[in-house]
Amino acid sequence: MGATSNAEQPNPPPTSRNRRQFLADAVLAVGAVLGLGGLAFRFAQYLYPVILPEKLVEVSAGKVAEIPEGGVRYVNLPEGPVMLENAGTEVRAFSAICTHLGCIVQWQKDRKEFVCPCHGGVYDINGKVTYGPPPRPLDPLEARIRSGEVFVMMKVRKEEPV
């Protein structure tokens, strides 16, 4: 009774390993398809982003009396930062965002110019670049005065409520 022959040893059915392997391969294939599909979707979103349309809105920026005569006042509106200049009979408005890298410019009243604290860009009272790396002037904004209040026309990108 020593050695048993090969005929006496039970062999596992040949299909059990094949089924198991098939299921493992199927799970891997489904995971790969879902993963690559998600990656392809994100890549397509990167290549073709959804850009909301710009709208021009009129925003109240405060009272004319709050702007010093011949001076400039910084106003941080929800639609973006603005510099208001009281030029006597009219109020001029500029975006306070530097055209170089998007920092907020500051008014230097002793020098009568806008200065960007990030990289030293300098703009004159009319928003034109006088020194530094900014590629273009400050963006002018349309300003209107009604009943002693200043209204500025600004471009915004807002999602419409559904």
Average pLDDT over residues 100-116: 89
Q: Give the pLDDT band of residue 13 (cuts 50, 70, 90).
A: low
Alpha helices in 8-159 (DSSP H): 14-47
Q: Which of 8-17, 32-41, 69-78 has the lowest mean pLDDT?
A: 8-17
If residue 140 lies in a helix (H) or strand (E), which one and from where to where? Answer: strand 140-141
| Confidence check: pLDDT of 36 > 90 | yes
123 and 82, same structural domain? yes
* Residue 55: per-residue pLDDT: 86
What is the helix, strand, coil percentage profile of the chain, to 5? 25, 35, 45
124 and 60, same structural domain? yes
140 and 66, same structural domain? yes
Tell me the CATH number at 91.
Answer: 2.102.10.10
63 and 131, same structural domain? yes
pTM higher than the cut 0.85: no
Of 52, 50, 74, 83, residue with least CA distance to 159: 52
Helix (H, G, I), strand (E, B) or coil at 67: coil
Instruction: Check if the beta carbon of residue 56 is closer than 8 Å to that of residue 157.
Output: no
24 and 103, same structural domain? no
120 and 135, same structural domain? yes
| Confidence check: pLDDT of 85 > 60 | yes
Higher pLDDT, 129 or 70: 129
Q: How far apart are CA 132 and CA 4, in angstroms?
A: 93
Q: Tell me the residue type at 53.
A: P
Number of independent structural domains in the chain: 2
- Chain CA centroid to CA 9, Å: 71
42 and 59, same structural domain? no
Give the range of the structural domain holding residue 109, as residue numbers without chain letter: 55-156
| Confidence check: pLDDT of 53 > 80 | yes
89 and 74, same structural domain? yes
* Residue 129: per-residue pLDDT: 93
95 and 65, same structural domain? yes
104 and 46, same structural domain? no
Q: Is residue 3 part of a domain?
A: no
* Residue 56: per-residue pLDDT: 86
Q: How far apart are CA 111 and CA 109, in angstroms?
A: 5
Q: Is residue 131 part of a domain?
A: yes
DSSP string, 13-46: PHHHHHHHHHHHHHHHHHHHHHHHHHHHHHHHHH
* Residue 5: per-residue pLDDT: 57
26 and 90, same structural domain? no
Percent of the chain with pLDDT over 90: 38
Most confident stretch, 10-24, 115-129, 146-160: 115-129
109 and 31, same structural domain? no
